[in-house]
Amino acid sequence: MMSLGRDASGACGRAVCSSARSTLIAALAVLTTGVSSAQAQMEWANKIFGLPTTTSSLERQPPGRPQQETPPDDLRTGDQPLRSEAMLKAMDLAYGRYKAIAQRGGWPAIPTSRMIRPGDDDDRVPIVRQRLRATGELRRSDSFQNFTFDGELEAAVRRFQQRHGLAVSGRIDRGTIAAMNVPAQARMAQIKLNYDRLAALLDNGALREDRYVLVNVPGYQLEAVEGGKVALRHRVIAGRPGRETPVVRASVRALNFFPYWRVPDSIAKLDVAPRLVKEPEYLGKEQIRVLSGNFNGPEIDATRIDWASFDPATTKLRQDPGPQNALGLVRLDMPNEHGVYMHDTPMKPLFARAQRAFSAGCVRVQDVFDLAAWLAKDEPGMDRRRVDEIIAGGTPVDITLSRPVPVHFIYVTAWADESGNAEFRPDVYGKDGLRELSSDREHDPDAPPPPPPMLAP
């Protein structure tokens, strides 16, 4: 079924193993001169690996908020790239399914009031059952008059939440109802729009690289592709609304281990300076230096700065390398007109969130050392073990790639698996232009607030 009008002819490792981690911790114990206790050494090692710490203000959860222990299962599976003919065929199947649903009258709207929890009796439960039966999350059809939110329905709700990029709670909250109430015709239009976006990428002959990195911003995921197959997938954190991650085509040209963070003027003016008016000690705590004139200028006394009238044109802020650095322990240098790039982060608990629009435009990558090793694998002596050695060394190292790797930041809010099962993500920046999706953007009303924006490149 070719409803969308296109001719169809045309394992990623996790963190370092426990033995390697033990070796690194031992190395850090030797290298961290001036650290007086084994506890402090362990804290630094834990920061590197994204494990819980007791001292980090960046990784501490807001009071009273439960910490999600495992990340959401929201990455695509299989080895077919998002940018592929196979994906277009899958989306064509999905479009046909939603077109058939629309022709049958779509699905009923669910009244918005209080949350429905497993075990509740609620007059809306039969409507929810009809809604989930329409798109296949609920596999039985003989219980539409059951008003009890039972285990069968909870499993269906969880499937729906996973397919729509929601926090998988099993509860029917406001965000879940909003996503359920998007009409079938709007979902059809969303599939068609994203089909066209991917088709345009395939039709551009200049973009047919054998090896590349693709970041889908509203999907909060990255895939590294080689020879037409996905080699790695990573969760990412992207720009928040108002500090959007742009659509970009560039190339990773270098890896910067233990980078300085040269705070962009916009972040320094809009985020850092207002905070320092209230909390001037933050500079010392986060090892941020105040420099005169440019990022290589002489250091000046921060207590002499009037932060209320701070001028980033004459005064610069630069954060020292280390686990407290906003870029984490590695920056992937990809020169482009927007000044955005990919990097590590000390704020690793944020990868456990379903919605991950927290940065000021750059892309933070989970398990970024695996990606760094893949990017540099053609360089002599570079592999994951060498990356671990550089990290254990604790000193800045820059590696220029002899074969730069193309990178694409794209905006795709719908895709499908090979069986035509559609997945959707909120149109976080409003780029889809579909009015019906406007209420589909905020899915996590009970989530903790984002981190302070000043450390969010």
Element (H, E) at 255: strand 248-257
Number of neighbouring beta carbons within 10 Å of residue 319: 21
Q: Residue 164 corresponds to which tokens in the numbers above?
A: 């729509």
Q: What is the mean pLDDT of the chain?
A: 84
Q: CB burial class (10 A; 0-12, 13-18, 19+) of residue 72?
A: buried
What confidence score (pLDDT) does residue 455 get?
52
Q: Which two tokens stand for residue 253?
A: 């040209």
One-letter amino acid for residue 297 of the chain: G
Q: Which of helix, strand or coil describes residue 114? A: coil
In angstroms, the CA 448 to CA 117 distance is: 20
Query: In 10 A of CB 19, how many CB atoms?
Result: 8
Question: Average pLDDT for residues 59-66, to the nearest whole number?
Answer: 39
Higher pLDDT residue, 44 or 167? 167
pLDDT tens digit sequence for 4-14: 766 544 433 33
Count CB atoms within 10 A of the CB of residue 259. Answer: 24
Per-residue pLDDT at 298 exceeds 80? yes
Residue 199 exposure: Cα atoms within 13 Å on the Cβ side = 18
229-233, 270-274, 330-334, 414-418: segment of lowest average pLDDT:
270-274
Instruction: Check residue 439 and give its pLDDT.
Output: 61
Distances in Å between the Cα of 300 and the Cα atoms of 47, 180, 297, 304 are 29, 56, 9, 8
CATH of domain 186-259+321-455: 2.40.440.10
- For 204, phi then psi, to 5°, come to -80, 105
- Cβ count within 10 A of residue 226: 16
CA distance linking residue 293 with residue 218, whole number of Å: 37
442 contacts 55 by C-beta, under 8 angstroms:
no
CA 49-50-54 angle, 5° bins: 110
Instruction: Return the bridge partners of 415, or none.
Output: 423
418-449 pLDDT per residue, tens: 999 999 999 999 999 988 876 665 544 444 45
Q: Is the pLDDT of residue 450 over 70?
A: no
Digit-coded pLDDT (tens) for 69-97: 335 789 999 999 999 999 999 999 999 99
Cα separation, 127 vs 393, in Å, equals 59
Question: What letter represents residue 219's amino acid?
Answer: G
Residue 140's pLDDT is 74
- Position 4 scores a pLDDT of 76
Residue 288 has pLDDT above 50, yes or no: yes
Residue 396: strand, helix, or coil: coil
> Looking at residue 406, what is its pLDDT?
97
Q: What is the pLDDT of residue 350?
A: 94
**Mean pLDDT, residues 394-423:** 97
Contact 343, 271 (CB under 8 A): no
**Which among 357, 400, 413, 371 has a CA at the least distance from the CA of 212?**
371
Kindly report, residue by residue over 230-251, the tens digit of the pLDDT: 999 999 999 999 999 999 999 9
Round to whole Å and give the CA distance between 156 and 420: 18
Q: Which of 428, 445, 22, 1 is nearest to 239 (CA)?
A: 428
Number of H helices, E strands in the chain: 12, 14
Q: Is residue 77 packed enough to be buried (19+ CB in 10 Å), middle (13-18) or exposed (0-12)? A: exposed
Q: Which residues of 296-315 are buried (b: 16+ CB within 10 A; e: fewer)?
A: eeeeeebeebebeebebeeb
Domain definitions of the chain by residue range: 18-49, 107-182, 186-259+321-455, 265-319
Rounded to whole angstroms, how far apart are CA atoms 426 and 437?
8
Q: Which of 38, 51, 42 is closest to 24 using CA atoms? A: 42
Q: Which pLDDT belongs to residue 266?
A: 86
Side-chain half-sphere CA neighbours of 366 within 13 A: 25
47 pLDDT higher than 50:
no
Write down the CATH number for the domain with range 107-182: 1.10.101.10
Tell whether the torsion through CA atoms of 104, 122, 166 and 150 is positive or negative. Answer: negative
180-198: pLDDT as tens digits: 999 999 999 999 999 999 9
* pLDDT of the residue at 165: 94
Whose CA is closest to 322, among 36, 56, 138? 56
CA distance 358 to 366: 14
Please, which residues bridge with residue 364 across strands? 237, 343
Bigger pLDDT: 206 vs 103: 103
Each residue's pLDDT tens digit, 299-340: 999 988 999 999 999 999 999 999 889 999 999 999 999 999
pLDDT band (50, 70, 90) for residue 68: very low
Tokens of 420: 């035509």
Beta strands 397-410 and 211-216: pairing type?
parallel
DSSP 269: I
